[in-house]
Structure 1
Amino acid sequence: MAAPPHWAITTHKGGTGKSKLIELIAAAAAENGDSVLVVDMDAQANVTRRLRAQIPVEPRDRKDASLAAVLQRPAKGEVERILVKSGWGGIYTDRITIAPAHLDLELLALTASQAASSRRLLTALAGVVDDFDLVVIDTPPNLLSHLIDVAWTASDLLWVPVEPEYDAVEAAKRVVQRVGEDADMLNPDMQVGGFVVNRFRSNLKLHNQRAGEVAEILGPDALCPTRFPELVVLKDGSEHAKPMAELGSDGKAMAALASDAYAWMKQRGAALMGAAA
């Protein structure tokens, strides 16, 4: 059985909706009948909380039940011992599984000089991922870090959330630049899948201009045609750790957009990986 695609949601700028995009994609995958493994490689653990990962209550027990413990020196497939289900209930609990993050993930940088250290997540996931249709990896909002190296080494495709603002567009360009410079040292088959515009206001000329600039980075085919508007319901979902579909009419509309974005990502991802094979 072939391993499922491994997607990293990555950016070089905080506040662009990276963790929110992972929530939306995980929910859309579940709603469309796919089983998804969410690997939280961001030490902030926002995705772990927002998906209501069923982690230990006692703080002292959380590290041992997280990637921070597994990735110190992982055995093949060891991530299986920490996997937990989403606490959203229903199809989400049935189809969303999380490898939880912990603050001590930042200490993984101390092992960067050890042999094959960037392959640790890949080793920990080996075999375990065969039970899933998709693996989605959250990454910290930076580029030059050991956690990024570990996450990218385990990734087939990188998807970049972008605010339609100057700094975020420049940050997206830097992701592409680093992939071009360093992919051979991490994962020669890794590609940038494309860009997803968040917090978009269609009535703003500047936002439309910036979206056009994103389309120029890798060409218009790499820009998701679905643009997520800036709505309060997105913040509500994150604050209360609930899926969009449970948050009234605005939430259902956002869930529909997420489903469209997920369909595009699957189609484009399959085409890119097929072309690279």
Structure 2
Amino acid sequence: MAPAHPPPHIAVANHKGGVAKTSTTAGLAAAAAEAGHRVLVVDMDSQYNATRRLRAALPADPADRAAASLAGVLQSPARGEAARIVTPCGWGGIYSEHIDVCPSDLDLELLGLTAGLPGAERRLLRALAGVVDAYDLVLIDCPPALLSHLVDNAWTASDYILIPCEGEFEAVHGARRVVERVARDRENLNPDLEILGIIPTRFRSTLSVHRTRLQDMEKLVGPDGVCPVKFPELAVMKTATENALPLTHPRCGSEGRNMAALFRDAYAWARKRISHNQESNA
């Protein structure tokens, strides 16, 4: 049964690369699935890390693979055309039942060549129209860019931006640039777009610089806008990422189960923030 209201669309973004955007996207998708929610993960990064991480099956032939991805859809999409490329998560069990992927491909980078066409920044929004009605959540994994046609499409199609951020200067500065661009371009790009908050990643509470940068994050989005869950830097994330496994997989052991529990807490925080925002705007 389709949700009664359109699902929240969350763009996971930071101008800084390597801050765990894709890991955050995958972890939140898994947490949502574990809560019984249906999730559509939209991979808007031409590196297609979310596609691989979630084991979305694609054809082996490069041309066929591009055609079966967002690279083949977004050149000139019909309304709802993304439906033809939706692929189940390949993790099995509850994850394959509840998580679908709109996969990416290297050729998605070429979309920027047609950025000057009228309404080009609304192509993803058009391609997803109607398709999202079957889901409880849409997560859009963004490339580590800011003034990018792929980012423009992702943000135009989103209600919220969620910013994974390490406790390092470059990551916090990248988050600041995201917040500043939303404030600067919201009216032209997407008047309804809001910053959902920041999720601290690879956080080490023993490091004074990380504690200082956490204060910088709070100054950027307010204390309530920083997720109370601080994700530690653990080797199990490498295991899950390298092998494209859910954190609950036996190979990830107790550390993986503990990290999965953190993602469930972070997901609950995000849903609470969304509910509060919807009530405030009602």
Normalised to the residue count of structure 1, the TM-score between the two structures is 0.98
Counterpart-to-counterpart distance in 1, 2:255 and 2:177: 33
Return the alpha-carbon distance in structure 1 between the equivalents of residues 230 and 73 of structure 2.
36
CA-CA distance at 1:274 after TM superposition:
3.4
Q: Deviations 1:70-124 (Å, cap 9, x if unpaired)?
A: 0000001000000000110000000000000011111111111111111100000
How far apart, CA to CA, are the structure 1 residues paired with 2:32 and 2:95?
9
Q: Distance in 1 between matches of 2:78 and 2:64?
A: 20
Hey, what does 2:78 align to over in structure 1?
A: 75
Note if contact 2:40-2:132 (Cα within 8 Å) is conserved in structure 1: yes
Partner amino acid, structure 2, of 1:129 = V
1:31-70: per-residue Cα shift (whole Å, max 9, x none)? 1111100000000000000100021122221001000010
2:262 partner letter: L
Letter of the 1:222 partner, please give it. G
Q: Offset of 1:276 from its aligned partner?
A: 3.3
2:62 and 2:241 map into 1 onto residues whose CA distance is 21
* Match 2:110 to one of 100, 107, 110: 107
Give the letter aligned to residue 58 of structure 1: D
Q: What's the offset of the Cα at 1:27?
A: 0.6
Give distance in 1, aligned partners of 2:242 and 2:137.
Answer: 26
Report what 1:178 is aligned to: 181
Of 233, 239, 258, the residue aligned with 1:253 is 258
Identity of aligned residues (%): 53
Alignment of 1:1-277 (within 5 A): 1-246=4-249, 247-277=252-282
* Secondary structure class of the residue paired with 1:136: strand
Conservation of the 8 A alpha-carbon contact between 2:33 and 2:94 = yes
How far, CA to CA, are the matches of 1:135 and 1:185 in structure 2? 22
When the two chains are superposed, the root-mean-square deviation of aligned CA atoms in Å is 0.9
How many residue pairs align between the two structures? 277
Partner SS, residue 163 of structure 2: strand
Task: Give the superposition deviation at 1:146.
Answer: 0.6
Contact 1:13-1:142 at 8 Å conserved across structures: yes
Letter in 2 for 1:71: L
Going from structure 1 to structure 2, the CA distance change for 1:155 and 1:9 (only over 3 Å counts) comes to: same
Deviation of 1:2 after TM superposition, in Å, equals 1.9
Give the conservation status (yes or no) of the 8 Å contact 1:41–1:147. Answer: yes
Structure 2 contact 112–149 (Cα < 8 Å) conserved: yes
C-alpha deviation, 1:222, in angstroms: 0.3
Aligned to 2:67, the other structure's residue is in SS state: coil
Instruction: Please give the alpha-carbon distance, in whole angstroms, between the structure 2 residues aligned to 1:144 and 1:19.
Output: 19
Shift of 1:171: 1.0
| Superposed displacement of residue 275, structure 1 | 2.4
Which structure 2 segments of 5+ residues have no match?
A: none
Amino acid in the other structure paired with 1:219: G
Q: Return the alpha-carbon distance in structure 2 between the equivalents of residues 87 and 167 of structure 1.
A: 34
CA drift of 1:218 comes to: 1.7
**Given that residues 63 and 102 in structure 1 are in contact (C-alpha distance below 8 angstroms), is that contact kept between their aligned partners in structure 2?**
yes
Contact 2:198–2:221, Cα closer than 8 Å, also in 1: no
**3-state SS of paired residue (1:63):** helix
